Amino acid sequence: MNSRRLARLIHPGFRFGLSDPERAVQLAGLGVGGFCFYGGEAGEVRELSRRLKAASETPLLISSDYENGAGQRARGATDLPANMAIGASGSEALARRKGEITALEARALGVDWVFAPVLDLATRPGNPIVNVRAYGADPGLAARLGGAFISGLNSQGALACVKHFPGHGDTTADSHLELPSVPKNLFALEELELRPFKALAGRADAVMAAHLLLPELDANNPASLSKEILTGLLRRRLGYAGLIVTDALEMKAVSADPAAGVKAFLAGADALLVPDDPFALHAELARAANDGLVTAAAVDQALARQDALVRKLAPFRSVPPPDALRCPEHLAFNSEAAPACLAWASPGRFWLKAGETLGYFEPKTAQKDWQGAAFVEELVRLGVRVEPYQPGCGMRLAAGCFSRPRAGSGSINLSDGEWGALEAAIAGAADSVLLAFGSPFVLDGLAPSAGLCAFCALPEFQRGAAGVLAGQVKAGGVMPVKVSLRSK
């Protein structure tokens, strides 16, 4: 079998500052199907994309996890609100505009394929990897806003990829570190997790398979390596005919299996993403082809799906100028979106007047390291006097929490020490508001007078939250997940 055709099944990762560009050029010459970019300054991302595409005899698909805008990965591009913030707004217009901006800036960087939207559901507060990456807990909301985001991406010439099939929300493990397991049967999955994937199966450019064990469906293989799940469930039962890409094969959930890449292909995957060693995977595919396991017909079918994505990009192959990055119009989006996304998580409210004194607090964080500088500065601008919080002296308290998913961290919410410090601060305050500039689940079990969720730490959202407390901005969002505040 032609070795270059086998190489096109492989999409290696490239980490700016760590990966060797010359090795990447060598892989492009080998014939790989694309690269997944991590990090980088905008200029070097753009230049490496150009260089790799020039070195390849076949069109490359350059991808990245720009779930929250290209600025999430590439320095010099625009950071955009978390999906859960968009979920709180319920606005398809905001979801679509987020997709448009992401596509324009991705293409300005030479990135064609955005691994988004996330269709996992935020149904488990302790999930260490989904959380604010989800639109919320409702599958209908995820399908509606995910579809709008896809429309925005496609309208500006970028490909989308829904993930992580068949749904990563109901886990307590991070697949970057270990293999999660969800003990649900097909009926339970169809009632909840599968609904957004089924709704968008006809519109998705690609579906990313999760490294997730569902023993009721396949007791031996994670979804990404399971023929029962990829071919039987996704293709046959849900009727999906497009491209299937694995989650990164270097993740510890599957990386210990030297045959994981070949197994994924045999299960129904068309693109094998970020293996530990792309050259070794190429050799494994060649051996499997020589042994008759990997057939020419199956390779042809997988590459036909990759070719379909390349053809879809054809009208947009020219790279937009770099002045699309962090342009005034894109930066303005965050300020315009914030009021619609901010949501009260409590029946109680917390208001401030000009001239009042407020104590500000971040658990286990010194004043010099406060992440809420934009929030504090905006309150001061609005006439509120802000001081470091001192418990037990009648101060009103605003506590800022900045918990968010971090791949490979294995946790999302507050540590025991942070939770205890926050509980003590609330107990010692005249009254209090807890501000979730990230995960809303930090409010679970605490008893502030009020809880206000921004779902992300963008400066524009911090300033919006300050405006809400000062009565200058209305929080227009509705909580897309359930949190359980404790009564005092």
How many CA atoms are closer than 13 Å to the CA of 291, on its beta-carbon side? 8
Multiple choice CATH, 3-324, 3.20.20.300, 3.30.1060.10, 3.40.1410.10, 3.40.50.10610: 3.20.20.300
Active site residue 176: yes
Below-70 pLDDT ranges, the chain:
1, 406-413, 487-488
Collapsed DSSP state (helix, strand, coil) of residue 191: helix
- What's phi and psi for 205, nearest 5 deg? -70, -35
The pTM for the full model equals: 0.96
Contacts 24+ apart (CB under 8 A), 185-188: 185/216, 185/217, 186/216, 186/217, 186/233
- Phi and psi based region of residue 468 (left: phi greater than 0; alpha: psi -120 to 50; beta: remaining): alpha
Cis peptide before 328 (omega within 30 of 0): no
In 275-413, at which residue ranges do the beta strands (DSSP E only) sit? 343-344, 357-361, 385-388, 396-401
- Tokens at residue 5, please? 């055709």
Cα 87 to Cα 13, 168, 307, 332, distances in angstroms: 30, 17, 33, 19
All CATH 3.40.50 domain ranges of the chain, comma separated, are 342-469
- What's phi and psi for 37, nearest 5 deg? -90, 140
| Predicted local confidence at residue 453, as pLDDT | 98
| Predicted local confidence at residue 404, as pLDDT | 77
Residue given tokens 């990447």 in the structure block = 24
Cα–Cα distance between 308 and 205 in angstroms, integer?
Answer: 9
Q: Which of 79, 247, 270, 444 is catalytic?
A: 247
Residue of 268, 231, 273, 278 whose CA lies nearest to 251: 273
Give the number of other CB atoms < 10 A from CB of residue 406: 13
Full DSSP string of 67-130? BTBGGGTSBTB-----HHHHHHHT-HHHHHHHHHHHHHHHHHTT--EE---B------TT-SSS
Active site residue 247: yes
Per-position b or e across 147-158, b if 16+ CB within 10 A of its CB: bbbbbbbbebbb
Query: How does DSSP classify residue 246?
Result: E
Provide the CATH topology of domain 342-469. Answer: Rossmann fold (3.40.50)
Residue of 112, 163, 170 whose CA lies nearest to 142: 163
- Which residues touch 347 (CB under 8 Å, ≥6 apart)? none
Cα 432 to Cα 93, 206, 364, 387, 425, distances in angstroms: 34, 45, 17, 14, 9
Q: Which of 168, 176, 211, 330 is catalytic?
A: 176
| Predicted local confidence at residue 320, as pLDDT | 80
Residue given tokens 């921004």 in the structure block = 454
| Predicted local confidence at residue 410, as pLDDT | 52
